Structure 1
Amino acid sequence: MPFTTTIITGATSGIGKETALALAKKEHAVYMLVRNIQKGEELRQYIISTTKNKHIYVIECDLADLESVRNAAGVLKSSLLGINILINNAGGIFAQRQESKNGNEMTFAVNHLGHFVLVQCLLPLLERGHARVINVSSEAHRMAKLNFKDINWLKRPYSAWYAYGTAKLFNIYFTRSLAVKYGSKGISAFALHPGLVNTSFGTDITGWGKWFLWLARPFMITPEAGAQTTIYLATATRIDAKSGKYFKNKRPAKTSSLATDEVKRNQLWDISMNLAGPFLV
């Protein structure tokens, strides 16, 4: 039987797929939380046939729908005694402003709030499994345009890249808050930059962002290479002392100065908890 129970969001493509495959090869029991069940089942069969690991599972979860997140957590709580690794990998950038089912700006919802609710719902399992929570952030956090009075981009011109950078900043805040608040309960947390990865990310972006991605394409790394820091954080021993850190290339790295702002980090926690509240009952 597999020793490590691992949950991963956004596993059906890109670095999520490579991460799920690599951890299955290491005999983790992998639970893939996916929006598209058909793609999830196809990937499940592929991983089983490739690795001979039969402990691969698919659970429907739409991070833009907090009720769906709560339901997915309910399935896990009814199936598992504990969780050892939670990889919050799913994310996205949206060319035009969109709203989630719960009325939140989509970049904020998918990259941060859905994962926030997932962690809160799974806390008993995470504590029982002395879990590592791994949040896939990005160097794009340095582009953040932080405005807690307009977190849903209603009062200012929407920018896909600034919204994405802000959400990636939130991943780092969330990581540090988890380490501070739940470290005494056996939970550790890590954020990471996967690198500039050649995936379908940002294909609908227009303007200067489209040209940037086009120019950067020859220098991008493969999804397999982009998954390496996530895999490292999920499997390395004796790294709990580095809980709360931001990693690049398997090593702790410096963040922007804004990412170290404790007051703003706590503000985000309070805002997120207020939005999550109705789905934590």
Structure 2
Amino acid sequence: MAGRTVVITGASDGIGAAAARELQRRGDEVVVVGRSPEKTAAVATELGAASFTADFARLDDVRTLAADLLARYPRIDVLANNAGGLMGPREETVDGHEKTFQVNHLAPFLLTLLLSDRLAESGATVIATSSVAHRLYSDFDIDDLESRRHYRPELAYGNAKLENILFTRELHKRFHDRGISSAAFHPGVVATSFSAGSRSGLRLMYRSVLNRLILPAEKGADTLVWLATTTPGVDWQSGGYYAKRKPARLKKGVDDPALAAALWDRSSAMVTR
């Protein structure tokens, strides 16, 4: 597996940086993608890796990132859609979308779509960092993707993590025959900065009640690394959701193929020019 190209978003910190370090240690060519130019460059310099900066709150940044990756890499063996976060009060991006929805779902959806031909040609694995929050906090409404009727930071985050799973399942359905395998995973309760911009109850829970249970980033990255370095169809099944290297429990209704298809179609309409 040496010599593979692995693109990791949200790799300037936390789980993404930990996964980048481990995959680079195993011989992969890691591409570090992050929002902060300084933090992204620091991780890339440490690894001797290439880096790109992109703010997922700006879809034009995602389009530029995809174009740059396509121009530079004739193969992309793994795309880890790891960037995301828990936000604060409801806010719309420059693209007119609720920020949690865009950063956690719509931007990685667009990036994957723009890279889909290259990923298919490469027989790639696409990995989404989801969360058990999809079971604990979501109240998903396909007709309120922008959270205009109901918004709380933890609710929007839970919905976005559920969308990551729906996207993973639909990506498998639409692209597995073309060569793409996909999986979503829950990293555990990990000590990262994913909630730095939020004052929600979920963030407070992470900092207090669950503090003694919080994992280091290296432990949180373990399932991502496992999915990136093992064989779909043998070690894990494409379209699945995993935690601790095993199939994990889904919220009721997430396995609805019509819901996954509807999310894909609506997301596609939102990012199509």
Of residues 132, 140, 144 in structure 1, which corresponds to 2:133?
140
Q: What is the Cα deviation at residue 205 of structure 1? A: 3.4
Aligned partners of 1:198 and 1:255: how far apart in 2? Answer: 23
> Which residue of the partner structure matches residue 116 of structure 2?
123
- Check the 8 A contact 1:8/1:32 in 2, yes or no: yes
Counterpart in 1 of 2:239?
244
Call closer, same or farther: CA 1:207–1:161 in 2, change over 3 Å. Answer: closer
For the aligned residue pairs, the C-alpha RMSD in angstroms reads 1.6
Secondary structure of the structure 1 residue equivalent to 2:143? helix
Q: Does 1:222 align with 2:216?
A: yes
Give the match's secondary structure for 2:251: coil
What TM-score do the two structures reach when normalised by structure 1? 0.92
Between stretches 251-260 and 85-94, larger displacement belongs to: 251-260
Q: CA deviation at 1:2?
A: 5.0
**One-letter code aligned to 2:38:** Q
Matched AA of 1:91? G
CA distance in 2, matches of 1:117, 1:211: 31
Instruction: Give the fraction of aligned pairs with identical amino acids, expressed as a percent.
Output: 34
- Following the alignment from structure 2 to structure 1, what is the Cα–Cα distance between the partners of residues 217 and 104? 19
Q: CA deviation at 1:32?
A: 1.5
SS of aligned partner of 2:182: strand
CA deviation digits over 1:183-242, x for unaligned, max 9?
Answer: 110100000000011222324433533442211111111111000000000001354660
Determine whether 1:33 maps to 2:33. yes
Question: Conserved in 2, the CA contact under 8 Å of 1:137 and 1:171?
Answer: yes
**Which of residues 261, 265, 269 in structure 2 aligns to 1:270?**
265
Specify which structure has the higher proportion of helix.
1
Seen in structure 2, the aligned counterparts of structure 1 residues 208 and 124 have a Cα distance that, compared at 3 Å, is closer
Residue in 2 that maps onto 1:255 = 250
SS at match of 2:127: strand
Unaligned runs of 5+ in 2: none
C-alpha distance in structure 2 between counterparts of 1:242 and 1:81, whole Å: 26
Partners in 1 of 2:212 and 2:94 — Cα distance?
37
Deviations along 1:130-183, one digit per CA (max 9) or x if unpaired, are 000000100001121112222112223x21111000000000000000111001
Cα separation, 1, equivalents of 2:232 and 2:180: 14
List aligned pairs for 1:178-257, cutoff 5 A. Answer: 178-206=171-199, 208-213=201-206, 214-239=208-233, 242-257=237-252
> Of the candidates 167, 173, 193, which is equivalent to residue 174 of structure 1?
167
Which residue type is aligned with residue 162 of structure 2? L
2:59 to 51, 62, 66: 66
Q: Distance in 2 between matches of 1:211 and 1:124?
A: 41
The TM-score with structure 2 as length reference comes to 0.94
Q: For the residues of structure 2 that align with 1:35 and 1:250, how far apart are their CA atoms? A: 28
The runs of at least 4 consecutive aligned structure 1 residues that moved more than 4 Å come to none
* 2:18 maps to 1:23: no
Change (3 A) 1:72 1:208: closer
Within 1, Cα distance between the matches of 2:196 and 2:70? Answer: 36
